[in-house]
């Protein structure tokens, strides 16, 4: 093999994917390095490209993750992979030996599997589901009962899961034989995670290019040659993107020293704020922090117009061999209404693949389907949770958009991408803005499906959830965290377990899927509280008000209130002796808490069963292989919380809207004991069925005439007080007795909502 680490290995031919025509030359080449998601582009570069469009700055963007993935997982790519592996090597595992024996089956099937996962070959699902088409290795030994897992989900999802396991088998082969760092959603992550020093990562970057590195550089080289950019901007959202990002920068600086390289994104924003190791700048010229619009604009001005380096915004660079941070205070950040619509052009949108790795309803949303990413509001409107990095600008600086502007962007993105599914990537979407957005979607008669992250707060009333559903909301995820009122108060979550239960019921009754983030191991959490938290979660599933959830162990981060003042939370931070590179995760001692890691397996196993409606009545202690305390929570705690009556808002200022169809009015005569009177029957038709109420004749005529005035197409809305005045002006008696009675209270199902 040639010694030059940038030389392609013997007998290796570059695999070039069909690409869109490039617009040459460009000022900025935006890159997302491997690997983030396989089903949809990570949105950071699309946001930046949308901003650069507003400034007339030419740009091109690539998701190198999907390009490298498709280069590997093709018949040509697999044949090259298998040719690199010596089947006589003595230390190969039984699993690899089996895959090598079946290599022709893998090569024969791979192209069809990829087109199936791209949605271009759906009938292959029937063949895959028979379990005699795909070669199967060790991943298939871990398969759950597919009837249990997919009985209600259908052949397509079952086949996607089997095809995903097939790809995972091949990824195991790659890791064992040609690249130990490979992973579909993370690459060399362990080199970047909690790397207080740059030494290990730097050492890895001095080695010859791996098989995956060579594919990456091949894709990169093609684009750089054609685009001839002045600046390459690499977005690094996660630790699993960092190694590949630095490989890209390393190659560019060696082969195109005139091109400047910048790195930004979630990982630098969070972990590189204390950077001092000059070696990092052997791979990049600049590192920017926080919102990227103003920093990248200043960089371009510096590169193209020779503006002084002092004009840079939130940027690290090397000056006289020393890492220097420059932040031009006179340069303001852009408001969210000024940054433009995310631009998804240049991406290979029809080439993304939909995998189902974990049988979890919310994880399926994350990994299955092409979602356009948008943001309702910058930052978090709550901004108080003690485990969260609320000291950083991306969370603490809250700035909402208007519903009208969000809908404008939705319409632009539908026209551009041909996709009407949206994932709003907010820290926590504000309820008031969600309401306004839902109304605007309905006014414009847009057909969209969307989901987002929320806080489980009482603002999510029954009627608001029905409105969100009508606008296309299909799912929400939110932090229940530790299902303990004491710990929720310590976390400053601003919610109670009972409140979360009622909100979840509202969403579930409206037909919106609910996913909960669950946390264990918060400082001072006892074994009793962990078991009680699990019991709360069990009762949520038993009550049918939670469809999906995921446990994760608490991690102390440097920029959270716990990390900044650990003594307030009765824990001791074990700070690294020296931090010259990444600074985020902080090891800590919790002298008053339980042995949190011992609960991990039992919590996750129980949750997997609960999500499938299994073992709901299983004694909690049987999930663990050590002695645990009995739950101190009453077995009907959540049921009682749900029974607490929540009155629909009767505030005079409550907005009343009608999103249904005008009812059919019939006057009917009733006779009893020789007396006759007339009633009004109003029949409401919806897509799901028919609903009829019977009220007094005069009230019925009045209501029939009122409903068109409450339609969202009207320029103004009416409040409860205005409706009351309208009712009384018609000479009708006792508004509260009429409006708050049983027939009227059932009309939320027909679209009469109080907000």
Tens digit of each residue's pLDDT (9 = 90 or more) over 25-36: 899 999 999 988
Q: Are residues 719 and 623 in the same domain?
A: no
Compute the distance between CA of residue 636 and CA of residue 539 in angstroms, rounded to an integer: 8
Does 188 or 536 have the greater pLDDT score? 536
Interval 583-597 mean pLDDT = 84
pLDDT band at 645 (very low <50, low <70, confident <90, very high): low
> SS3 of 440, please?
helix
Evaluate the omega torsion of the peptide bond into residue 35 and state whether it is cis, within 30 degrees of 0.
yes
Is residue 166 within 8 Å of residue 158, measured between CB atoms? no
Number of C-beta neighbours around residue 689 at 10 A: 9
pLDDT at 359: 63
Is residue 755 within 8 Å of residue 464, measured between CB atoms? yes
* 35 in a structural domain: yes
pLDDT at residue 531 tops 50: yes
pLDDT at residue 11 tops 60: no
Q: Are residues 397 and 305 in the same domain?
A: no
Secondary element (H or E) of residue 422 = strand 421-424
What's the whole-model pTM score?
0.89
pLDDT at 8: 32
* 140 in a structural domain: yes
pLDDT at residue 154 tops 80: no
Number of C-beta neighbours around residue 202 at 10 A: 18
Interval 105-127 mean pLDDT = 95
Q: Are residues 620 and 537 in the same domain?
A: yes
pLDDT band at 632 (very low <50, low <70, confident <90, very high): very high
Q: Residue 93: which domain range?
A: 86-177
Tokens of 50: 């949308």
Tens-place pLDDT, residues 266-298: 999 999 999 999 999 999 999 999 999 999 999
Q: Are residues 568 and 687 in the same domain?
A: no
pLDDT at 37: 84
- State which of 123, 144, 177 marks the end of a domain: 177
Tokens of 442: 């309905």
CATH no. for residue 370?
3.80.30.20
pLDDT band at 713 (very low <50, low <70, confident <90, very high): confident
Sheet of 260-264: strand order equals: 59-63, 28-32, 231-235, 260-264, 286-288, 315-319, 322-326
Compute the distance between CA of residue 429 and CA of residue 109 in angstroms, rounded to an integer: 43
- Between the CA of residue 280 and those of 4, 263, 318, 321, 583, what are the distances in Å? 22, 11, 9, 11, 15
Tens-place pLDDT, residues 342-369: 999 999 999 999 887 766 677 777 777 7
Q: Are residues 276 and 366 in the same domain?
A: no
Tokens of 649: 């808002």
Number of C-beta neighbours around residue 11 at 10 A: 8
pLDDT at 587: 83
Tokens of 200: 């290990």
The candidate with the shortest Cα–Cα distance to 128, out of 169, 162, 168, 167, is 162
Residues 6+ apart with CB under 8 A from 489: none
Residues 6+ apart with CB under 8 A from 184: 35, 38, 69, 167, 168, 171, 355, 357
- State which of 589, 610, 643 marks the end of a domain: 643
pLDDT at residue 23 tops 80: no
Tokens of 484: 């303990």
Tokens of 624: 């663990």
In degrees to the nearest 10, what's the CA dihedral of 251, 252, 256, 258?
A: -140
Tens-place pLDDT, residues 388-444: 988 888 888 999 999 999 999 999 999 999 999 999 999 999 999 999 999 999 999
CATH no. for residue 345?
3.40.50.2300
Among 194-198, 242-246, 355-359, 676-680, the range scoring the smallest mean pLDDT is 355-359
* 10 in a structural domain: no
Q: Are residues 347 and 361 in the same domain?
A: no
Evaluate the omega torsion of the peptide bond into residue 122 and state whether it is cis, within 30 degrees of 0.
no
Determine phi and psi for 689, rounding to 5 degrees.
165, -160
Determine phi and psi for 55, rounding to 5 degrees.
-105, 0
pLDDT band at 608 (very low <50, low <70, confident <90, very high): confident
Residue indicated by tokens 């990095």: 389
pLDDT at residue 194 tops 80: no
> SS3 of 255, please?
helix
Compute the distance between CA of residue 469 and CA of residue 449 in angstroms, rounded to an integer: 9
Q: Are residues 558 and 427 in the same domain?
A: yes
Residues 6+ apart with CB under 8 A from 565: none
Residue indicated by tokens 């949108």: 349
pLDDT band at 188 (very low <50, low <70, confident <90, very high): low
pLDDT at residue 467 tops 50: yes
Secondary element (H or E) of residue 534 = helix 527-542
Provide, rounded to the nearest whole percent, the portion of the chain with pLDDT above 70. 92
Provide, rounded to the nearest whole percent, the portion of the chain with pLDDT above 90. 72
The candidate with the shortest Cα–Cα distance to 690, out of 661, 710, 713, 668, is 661
Q: Are residues 595 and 678 in the same domain?
A: no
pLDDT at residue 6 tops 50: no
- State which of 643, 675, 697 marks the end of a domain: 643
Is residue 114 within 8 Å of residue 70, measured between CB atoms? yes
Q: Are residues 630 and 668 in the same domain?
A: no
- Between the CA of residue 319 and those of 57, 260, 274, 275, 324, what are the distances in Å? 27, 15, 16, 14, 6
Compute the distance between CA of residue 267 and CA of residue 194 in angstroms, rounded to an integer: 11
Secondary element (H or E) of residue 212 = helix 211-227
Compute the distance between CA of residue 134 and CA of residue 126 in angstroms, rounded to an integer: 12
Determine phi and psi for 602, rounding to 5 degrees.
-65, -40
Sort 255 into a burial class: Cβ within 10 Å, 0-12 / 13-18 / 19+: middle
Q: Are residues 214 and 333 in the same domain?
A: yes
Radius of gyration of the chain (CA): 29
Compute the distance between CA of residue 508 and CA of residue 491 in angstroms, rounded to an integer: 26
Q: Are residues 232 and 247 in the same domain?
A: yes
Determine phi and psi for 543, rounding to 5 degrees.
-80, -10
pLDDT band at 752 (very low <50, low <70, confident <90, very high): very high
Interval 488-497 mean pLDDT = 90
* 635 in a structural domain: yes
Is residue 373 within 8 Å of residue 403, measured between CB atoms? no
pLDDT at 9: 34
In total, the chain counts a number of residues equal to 755
> SS3 of 35, please?
coil
Q: Are residues 453 and 572 in the same domain?
A: yes
pLDDT at 399: 92
Tens-place pLDDT, residues 510-519: 999 999 999 9
pLDDT at residue 660 tops 80: yes
pLDDT at 84: 92
Does 450 or 12 have the greater pLDDT score? 450
pLDDT at residue 651 tops 80: yes
Among 151-155, 448-452, 659-663, the range scoring the smallest mean pLDDT is 151-155
Among 2-6, 208-212, 267-271, the range scoring the smallest mean pLDDT is 2-6
* 126 in a structural domain: yes
pLDDT at 647: 54
Number of C-beta neighbours around residue 108 at 10 A: 13
Tens-place pLDDT, residues 569-583: 888 888 766 788 888
pLDDT at 576: 67
Percentages helix, strand, coil for the chain (3-state, rounded to 5) are: 45, 15, 40
Give me the number of domains the chain comprises: 4
Determine phi and psi for 607, rounding to 5 degrees.
-65, -40
pLDDT at residue 714 tops 90: no
> SS3 of 344, please?
coil
Interval 197-219 mean pLDDT = 93
Among 294-298, 308-312, 650-654, the range scoring the smallest mean pLDDT is 650-654
* 650 in a structural domain: no
Is residue 691 within 8 Å of residue 752, measured between CB atoms? no
pLDDT at residue 700 tops 50: yes
Tens-place pLDDT, residues 314-337: 999 999 999 999 999 999 999 999
* 4 in a structural domain: no
* 13 in a structural domain: no
């Amino acid at each position: 093999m040639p010694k030059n680490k940038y030389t392609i290995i013997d007998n290796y031919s570059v695999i070039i994917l069909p690409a869109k025509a490039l617009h040459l030359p460009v000022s900025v080449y935006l890159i997302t390095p491997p690997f983030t998601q396989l089903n949809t582009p990570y949105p950071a570069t699309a946001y930046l490209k949308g901003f650069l469009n507003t400034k007339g700055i030419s740009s091109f963007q690539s998701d190198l993750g999907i390009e490298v993935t498709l280069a590997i997982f093709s018949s040509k790519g697999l044949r090259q992979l298998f040719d690199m592996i010596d089947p006589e090597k003595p230390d190969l595992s039984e699993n690899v030996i089996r895959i090598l024996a079946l290599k022709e089956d893998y090569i024969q099937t791979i192209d069809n599997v990829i087109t199936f996962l791209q949605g271009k070959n759906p009938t292959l699902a029937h063949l895959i589901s028979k379990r005699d088409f795909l070669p199967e290795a060790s991943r298939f030994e871990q398969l759950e009962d597919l009837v249990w897992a997919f009985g209600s989900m259908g052949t397509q999802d079952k086949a996607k899961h089997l095809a995903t396991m097939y790809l995972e088998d091949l990824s195991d082969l790659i890791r064992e034989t040609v690249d130990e760092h490979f992973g579909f959603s993370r690459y060399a992550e362990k080199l970047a995670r909690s790397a207080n020093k740059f030494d290990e990562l730097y050492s890895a970057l001095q080695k010859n290019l791996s098989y995956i590195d060579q594919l990456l550089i091949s894709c990169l080289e093609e684009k750089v040659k054609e685009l001839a950019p002045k600046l390459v901007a690499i977005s690094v959202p996660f630790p699993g993107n960092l190694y590949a990002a630095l490989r890209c920068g390393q190659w560019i600086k060696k082969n195109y020293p005139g091109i400047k390289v910048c790195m930004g994104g979630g990982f630098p924003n969070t972990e590189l704020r204390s950077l001092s190791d000059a070696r990092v700048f052997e791979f990049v010229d600049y590192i920017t922090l926080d919102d990227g619009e103003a920093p990248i604009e200043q960089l371009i001005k510096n590169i193209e117009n020779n503006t002084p380096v002092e004009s840079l915004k939130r940027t690290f660079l090397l000056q006289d061999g020393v890492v220097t941070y420059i932040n031009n205070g006179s340069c303001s950040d852009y408001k969210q209404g000024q940054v433009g619509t995310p631009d998804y052009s240049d991406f290979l949108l029809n080439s993304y693949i939909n995998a189902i790795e974990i049988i979890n309803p919310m994880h399926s949303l994350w990994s299955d389907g092409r979602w356009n990413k948008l943001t309702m509001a910058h930052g978090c409107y709550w901004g108080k949770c003690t485990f969260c990095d609320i000291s950083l600008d991306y969370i603490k600086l809250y700035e909402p958009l208007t519903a009208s502007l969000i809908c404008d962007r939705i319409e632009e993105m539908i026209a551009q991408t041909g996709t009407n599914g949206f994932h709003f990537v907010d820290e926590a979407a504000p309820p008031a803005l969600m309401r306004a957005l839902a109304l605007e979607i309905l006014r414009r008669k847009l057909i969209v499906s969307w989901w987002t992250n929320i806080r489980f707060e009482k603002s999510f009333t029954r009627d608001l959830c029905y409105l969100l559903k009508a606008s296309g909301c299909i799912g929400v995820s939110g932090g229940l965290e530790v299902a303990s009122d004491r710990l929720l108060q310590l976390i400053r979550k601003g919610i109670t377990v009972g409140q979360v239960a009622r909100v979840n019921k509202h969403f579930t009754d409206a037909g919106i899927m609910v996913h909960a983030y669950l946390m264990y191991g918060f400082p001072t959490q006892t074994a009793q509280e962990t078991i009680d938290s699990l019991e709360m979660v069990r009762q949520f599933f038993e009550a049918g008000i939670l469809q999906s959830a995921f446990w994760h162990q608490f991690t102390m981060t440097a920029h959270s209130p716990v990390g900044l003042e650990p003594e307030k939370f009765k824990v001791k931070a074990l700070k690294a002796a020296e931090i010259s590179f990444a600074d985020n995760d902080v090891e800590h001692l919790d002298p008053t808490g339980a042995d949190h890691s011992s609960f991990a397996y039992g919590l996750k196993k129980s949750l997997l069963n609960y999500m499938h409606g299994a073992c709901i009545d299983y004694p909690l202690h049987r999930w663990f292989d050590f002695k645990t305390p009995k739950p101190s929570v009453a077995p009907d705690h959540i049921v009682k919380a749900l029974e607490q009556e929540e009155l629909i808002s009767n505030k005079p200022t409550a907005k009343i809207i009608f999103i249904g169809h005008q009812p059919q009015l019939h006057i009917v005569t009733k006779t009893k004991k020789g007396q006759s009177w007339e009633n009004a029957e109003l029949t409401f038709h919806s897509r799901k069925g028919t609903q009829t109420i019977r009220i007094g004749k005069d009230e019925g005529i009045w209501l029939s005439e009122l409903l068109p005035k409450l339609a969202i197409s009207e320029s103004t809305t009416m409040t409860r007080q205005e409706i009351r005045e309208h009712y009384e002006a018609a000479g009708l008696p006792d508004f509260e007795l009429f409006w708050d009675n049983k027939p009227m209270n059932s009309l939320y199902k027909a679209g009469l909502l109080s907000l």
